[in-house]
Structure 1
Amino acid sequence: MASPYVTFNREQWKSLRASTPLTISDDELACLQGVNEKISMDEVSEVYLPLSRLLNLHVGATQELHQGTHTFLGIQDAKVPFIIGIAGSVAVGKSTTARILQTLLSRWPNHPKVELVTTDGFLYPNRVLEERGIMKRKGFPESYDLRRFLHFLSEIKSGEPEVSAPVYSHLVYDIVPDQWQTVRQPDILIVEGLNVLQPPRDKSLSELFVSDFFDFSIYVDAKEQDIFQWYVERFKVLRQTAFSNPASYFRRYASLSDEEAVEVATGIWKEINEINLRKNILPTRVRARLILEKGQDHSVQRVKLRRL
């Protein structure tokens, strides 16, 4: 059966950069990388620059289409952001992908204002998750306040001057009361999260998908065994960093030995993340416009772009 995607190896993809300038420094890249990730400048120039060029072309075409429609109708509506959705497993590197793209896209002259929102802010507070008995299913589709998330995206696409999203703290592992991220009519909004390509399960809530608001979607992919290994290695590193903070929800893990850390991380992966990946996240890969396929060393080896 013919694939709906065109597949590019690394050499083929990097040639599509054309003359796009490298607008990111080594110091900036170091700040954008996630825990235990090693993204090289070659990776940026060979993978993310061509992708930023593709996205820039899409944004430009969409801006022209909106302008043409407004001219035809004789109206002057508020600016409507171009929305990019980025999905993928825990520990696959989607947050780093989102931050690198945010930085690169903000350097293009026709869309300098690029905002990034993660779906963590739309998780139900721990209190609600505990009341519903789904605390161990945090990150599963049912753990998100879908109504609030859809309302947020609807206001963004309606061109509202200011739209606020709740703030989530990975340190305390919960929504932060009375704190908000305010989005003010960006040129581009990147929405990053585990299940952003997930169709609704409860038809009584809405006929809309979250992805209905996306102008472009990306799935960050890798072999399950590699993601599991990255998750365990990240967990081990966090013992000396975030977990060691007295305010951390995971403070109890800070003193674990290497062997104990591997055992605990493996248990969490098997009980939660593996199930979520197989049941909810991975099945949405085919809905993405573009797929970044990573190798064991975290570098992107292949890119799949959906045919128009």
Structure 2
Amino acid sequence: MQTEHDSTYISFSREEWASLHPSSQINLTQSEINHIQGLIGNLTNEEISKIYLPLIEYLSINMEAAKFSHHVKNQFLKKATKNPPFIIGIAGSVAVGKSTTSRILQSLLLDLPARPKVDLITTDGFLFSNNVLKAKGLSERKGFPESYNIRALIDFLSAVKSGEPCVQAPVYSHLYYDIVPGQYHQVCQPDIVIIEGINVLQTPKQVGSSIPSRVVSDFFDISIYVDADESHILKWYVERFKLLKKTAFTKPESYFKRFAELSDVEAEGVATDIWNRINKVNLEENILPTKYRADLIIEKSSNHQVDNIRVRKN
């Protein structure tokens, strides 16, 4: 039986998607692949060729359509306004592979014939600082919609989209688990901006007596949701936690250094507890309900391989 969501998207198996761009081939070194995929995953040249090169082609079609639309509007209005940057939103759960997807897309987009300027911004930089979260009673709600300075994020996106010469995005440190005071990522009139974050497809929520008139996704030209079964995501989250225990957590300045001496069994218990108390709740209450707002849904299997892609019909 076809659901409402099924009728909204065209679904492609892995092989069907790859066949849309059959000549796609790429050869990255293992070092380059390791840099893109981060701690967890099994990214391969085959995965990039079969999944991400066709995706780049699809994004390119949408970018050209946006440029043509802007040109036609300029002609009608008898104005010569600059093409706004094309903004790609990438959403999905903690540990599902959003960052890897974002880095792959940035790397491949930078390599397009026109050599566009591509910036990648994570919404972690727009989290309230730990001090503010503590004052608001939100320390255990970090990553939930209310833990972000949405007004600052919308102001940032508005400035970027309107062509401001340079706009600053705050920097977040996973090592310190906090905003880094005085550090910013400069975004200076890019051609493409990738915005990656767990809650970037959120709908307006009432704040006090008012409902915001604009949301983050209003600025997106196209949006992607990276999806997987929750059981797979939990497994990847635990694997990442155990790896971090042996690497980043061992640094004296790490916020999580108290976990560095845990055994693997203890680490698995701690990670599972954090998942169940915080990330699972956020996924089910806030992130997953936004999936069908995305223009594309990338569905991953247990080994991080993309098995299916859904494309919104209109």
- TM-score per shorter chain, which class? over 0.9
Task: Please state whether the residue corresponding to 2:171 is helix, strand or coil.
Answer: strand
Name the structure 1 match of 2:196: 192
The whole-number CA distance in structure 1 between the counterparts of 2:73 and 2:28 is 35
Give 1:109 deviation, angstroms.
Answer: 2.3
2:72 corresponds, among 68, 78, 81, to 68
Give 1:19 deviation, angstroms.
Answer: 3.5
The whole-number CA distance in structure 1 between the counterparts of 2:136 and 2:174 is 21
Contact 1:60/1:110 (8 A) holds in 2: no
Cα root mean square deviation, aligned: 1.3
Contact 2:24/2:50 (8 A) holds in 1: no
Q: Is 1:59 aligned with 2:59?
A: no
2:14 corresponds, among 10, 13, 24, to 10
What is the TM-score of this pair, normalised by structure 1? 0.97
Contact 1:34/1:93 (8 A) holds in 2: no
- Taking only the aligned residue pairs, the percentage that are identical comes to 53
What is the TM-score of this pair, normalised by structure 2? 0.95
* Counterparts of residues 64-213 of structure 1 (less than 5 Å): 64-110=68-114, 112-202=116-206, 204=210, 206-213=212-219
2:290 corresponds, among 265, 284, 287, to 284
Give 1:25 deviation, angstroms.
Answer: 4.3
Contact 2:26/2:45 (8 A) holds in 1: no
The whole-number CA distance in structure 2 between the counterparts of 1:219 and 1:226 is 16
Contact 2:41/2:303 (8 A) holds in 1: no
1:274 corresponds, among 280, 287, 290, to 280
Gaps of at least 5 residues in structure 1 are: none
Q: Which moved more, 1:20-29 or 1:168-177?
A: 20-29
Q: Is 1:38 aligned with 2:42?
A: yes
The whole-number CA distance in structure 2 between the counterparts of 1:272 and 1:238 is 19
1:282 corresponds to which letter in structure 2?
Answer: L
The whole-number CA distance in structure 1 between the counterparts of 2:151 and 2:20 is 39
Give 1:75 deviation, angstroms.
Answer: 2.1
Name the structure 1 match of 2:261: 255
2:290 corresponds to which letter in structure 1?
Answer: T
Give 1:243 deviation, angstroms.
Answer: 0.5
Name the structure 2 match of 1:221: 227
Task: Please state whether the residue corresponding to 2:299 is helix, strand or coil.
Answer: strand
Contact 1:219/1:292 (8 A) holds in 2: yes
The whole-number CA distance in structure 1 between the counterparts of 2:252 and 2:159 is 38
Name the structure 2 match of 1:240: 246
Give 1:35 deviation, angstroms.
Answer: 1.1
The whole-number CA distance in structure 2 between the counterparts of 1:142 and 1:19 is 45
The whole-number CA distance in structure 2 between the counterparts of 1:14 and 1:8 is 9
The whole-number CA distance in structure 2 between the counterparts of 1:109 and 1:25 is 21
Task: Please state whether the residue corresponding to 2:20 is helix, strand or coil.
Answer: helix
Contact 1:20/1:53 (8 A) holds in 2: no
Give 1:157 deviation, angstroms.
Answer: 1.1
Task: Please state whether the residue corresponding to 2:246 is helix, strand or coil.
Answer: coil
Give 1:76 deviation, angstroms.
Answer: 2.3
2:219 corresponds to which letter in structure 1?
Answer: F
Contact 1:84/1:214 (8 A) holds in 2: yes
When the two structures are aligned, how many residues end up with a matched partner? 308
Contact 1:78/1:160 (8 A) holds in 2: no
1:138 corresponds to which letter in structure 2?
Answer: K
Give 1:111 deviation, angstroms.
Answer: 5.4
Contact 1:147/1:205 (8 A) holds in 2: no
Give 1:210 deviation, angstroms.
Answer: 0.7
Runs of 4+ that moved beyond 4 A: none
2:107 corresponds to which letter in structure 1?
Answer: T
1:306 corresponds, among 266, 289, 312, to 312
1:243 corresponds to which letter in structure 2?
Answer: F
Q: Which moved more, 1:163-172 or 1:68-77?
A: 68-77
The whole-number CA distance in structure 1 between the counterparts of 2:22 and 2:57 is 9
Task: Please state whether the residue corresponding to 1:6 is helix, strand or coil.
Answer: strand
